[in-house]
Structure 1
Amino acid sequence: MANQYFSLKKTAEMFGGQHLKERIEEFEKSGVIPPSSRYRSGALFRKGWTINDLPTIGSKLGFFKKFKKSTAMAVFTTKGGVLKSTLALNLARTAALHGQKVCVVGLDIQGDITTALGFESDLDNQEDLLEVIEKLNRTKGLSDLFNNQVRLTEIIQSTDIANLYLIPETPELVALNDSLSNINRREFWLKEKVVDLLKEHFDLVIMDCSPNWNKLTTNALVACDVLISPLECKINNFRNFRVFRHFLKEFKDEMRLRFENVFIPTRYSKNRKLSQDILSWYRENVPGCTDHGVRENVSGEEATALNLSLIEHVPGQEIAKEMRELLKEVHGRVDQYHEYVELREPDEVMMTPRDQYQHEVRQWSF
């Protein structure tokens, strides 16, 4: 496959805007970033960078820097079709394009994140069914690790970005979910056998969960530092959220967990009053709701279908700029989480940093 090249203009737009063009050129001249390559675009020759040049540029000039410590994120809500895997894809690729070493862990039997990251995307083009089956059988996953048939390093797959990796979903996830009932400390298997080990080698671990609250989801919540939950701006999800928030609070209290909650409004429309009313309600009434979100847009669907983040697919469009602002906000929240945890004694941090802070503010109020 021929290399895809990113021009100076597109590279600058991806990492923050056209004002970065001069700095990119300066960094190229001084050898801080890789030199651009000459490539053909139609009848013209241009200069640009390949996908694996971009992480160096992103780490120097981008907006999504490495966190202070390795971070585990779970992306989960109890409803499908709310852009859960789209958020996981954009977080993973954006972080990787900024020089972070990222591993995505697929926990949804539907395999949306595995597909979105382009893993085995050529299978449908194969002509021989036996060859396809043989290739699928060679793919090992979390169930094989659970059964001690492989080591963790053997189930981690590479992607088109050199520092972005994937543990793909396999059909055996169903059996793994059932098998977790039969072991001691069943809620901690993923944390102790997978995530904690990954955090020793990766800057960011992203777990894309099923919309069903099953044992694998419980494991992901126990293992995460930050929970990313999409809030679809439609009436069905609005009704569902009240129940979800109740069960989530009960679970955190029972398990004495301290992960940070980040709720992200998704699929809202600027032209529908009900959608805007729901969006306003989320922002006014949901602690941890972001100021930015992901609105309905065809470009977002196109990007996911092409296995790309929005900032790669249409970096100059308004929808990509909105995604950039959202990811900046998420990044800031994660940084605040780490800073707050560092200031607290372990036995004091039973609530999330944000909840603890709000609790203390209420105590100080007269």
Structure 2
Amino acid sequence: MAYDANQETYPYADFSSLYLPPQFAAEALGLNIQTLKAVERDHDLDIRRVPRGAISARAYTVDDICKIAFLRREKGLTKGLSRPITISMFVQKGGTGKTTCSVNLPMELAFQGLRVLLIDNDPQADASSMLGYDPDLTPEELEEMGISRDRAINGHFGNLLGISNMFPAMTLEQVIKKPFGEHGPHLIPAEESLDDLDIALGAANNSDFRYAAHINKARAGQLPHCDFSGYDVIIFDNAPSGSLITRNSMVASDFLVCPVRMDRFSFRALSRLAGKLAQFKEDFQRSPEIIAIPTMFIKNRPRILANLTRLSELFPGRVTDGRLFFSEDYSKALEEGVPIMAWKHGSENSLGAMRGVFSEVLTRIRNTVGLG
């Protein structure tokens, strides 16, 4: 869904020059054009103008949209959460749209005024790549290709945990990436050596709880090198496996968001997940809330509708009413290196559906933890 087998690379989109029209910005924020203009006027925001035929028009970056969302929240026009939360994206099956959701959900949450950190917890680093960071090339190699050195990955979550000398100790500022600027979602990227963190965790005391302990301290401001106190939401993108790093993210999480493709193979994975969660609750005395998202949905297909019914039976009350439809828009957007939530050509079946589903996810979260 995200990988270009011919080029064996991802495009390097420059999000700072990705300009979106006023209608897109207004819809992303849930506003009308007049209210959007009023917010800009009230806060003395200087939105650039770009030529459009014989005239010029306002043009927004993702960071502009997130900044407006931030200012609206500061003014009390939108609500946050009663407490910070952690989410794990997880399903034991590839090709379900999990990483696509991991990359786009933080954008929707930021458009709603929340401060979001995405942690790429998958050694394959697909989430990092989808946001334009290269897990394989050095800064020098990127520079030779005419690509900014900043697109190289300097470190990952293992460099912040401090559990093994396999990973040089680093600060959050050394590791973190800000693909959409200061106000957009932030990223702790991944690269192949994250795989060794599984080995390091296996040798550590309380190996299943190291992520949870780190996040709790980082949120409380007890780790000077890694301050998470400014984030409302932390999201882990996980590999479709039962590794120690995946289990750690699940133990640390309040919610498991599970994108489920509407086919029988994904349901096998979901059946295993149901059993896994029962054992998980027994082992760790924790039971994160499940939010299952039907993906790759095709309307009016009897088999797909039957699978949706089975999904609702497996996780009663935990399946979103909205669905993510099968659409070529996703691959078209990725060919440009742009997540669908920032792709102005998105249709109602792609961008519209994703906005609706993620809005529902946020409502479910707020109903569980309360407004802040």
Instruction: Tell me the TM-score range normalised by the shorter chain.
Output: 0.7 to 0.9
AA aligned opposite 1:317 = S
Aligned-residue offset at 1:82:
0.4
Contact 1:7/1:48, CA 8 A, preserved across alignment: yes
Query: Matches of 2:216 and 2:188 in 1, distance apart?
Result: 11
Matches within 5 A, 1:185-334: 185-194=206-215, 196-198=217-219, 199-287=228-316, 288-314=318-344, 317-319=347-349, 320-334=351-365
Query: Matches of 2:214 and 2:361 in 1, distance apart?
Result: 27
Worse overlay, 285-294 or 154-163: 154-163
Q: Which runs of 5+ in 2 are unaligned?
A: 1-13, 220-227
Aligned residue among 328, 337, 344 for 2:368 = 337
Q: Higher helix share goes to which structure?
A: 1
Aligned residue among 151, 154, 162 for 1:139 = 154
AA aligned opposite 1:241 = L
Deviations 1:40-61 (A, max 9, x none): 2355422233332211333439
Contact 1:262/1:289, CA 8 A, preserved across alignment: yes
Aligned residue among 88, 98, 105 for 1:74 = 88
1:49 matches 2:74:
no
Cα 1:98–1:173 change in 2 (3 A) is: same
Query: Matches of 2:215 and 2:175 in 1, distance apart?
Result: 11
Cα 1:314–1:8 change in 2 (3 A) is: closer
Aligned length: 336
Query: Matches of 1:24 and 1:138 in 2, distance apart?
Result: 36
Q: Which runs of 5+ in 1 are unaligned?
A: 343-366
Query: Matches of 2:300 and 2:233 in 1, distance apart?
Result: 36
Query: Matches of 2:276 and 2:151 in 1, distance apart?
Result: 37
Q: TM-score, normalised by structure 1?
A: 0.81
SS, match of residue 82 in structure 1: coil
Worse overlay, 314-323 or 111-120: 314-323
Deviations 1:15-66 (A, max 9, x none): 33xx61121122233x2362332212355422233332211333439x9853
> RMSD of the alignment, in Å?
3.2
SS, match of residue 251 in structure 2: helix
AA aligned opposite 2:104 = N
Contact 1:75/1:84, CA 8 A, preserved across alignment: yes
Query: Matches of 1:115 and 1:333 in 2, distance apart?
Result: 29
Please say which structure displays the higher CA radius of gyration.
Answer: 1
Q: TM-score, normalised by structure 2?
A: 0.80
Aligned residue among 158, 170, 179 for 1:151 = 170
Q: Which residue of 2 aligns with 1:162?
A: 182
Q: Which structure is higher in RCO with an 8 Å CA cutoff and minimum separation 6?
A: 2
AA aligned opposite 1:180 = L
Q: Higher strand share goes to which structure?
A: 1
Query: Matches of 1:235 and 1:64 in 2, distance apart?
Result: 40
Q: Which residue of 2 aligns with 1:88?
A: 102
Q: Which residue of 2 aligns with 1:26?
A: 38
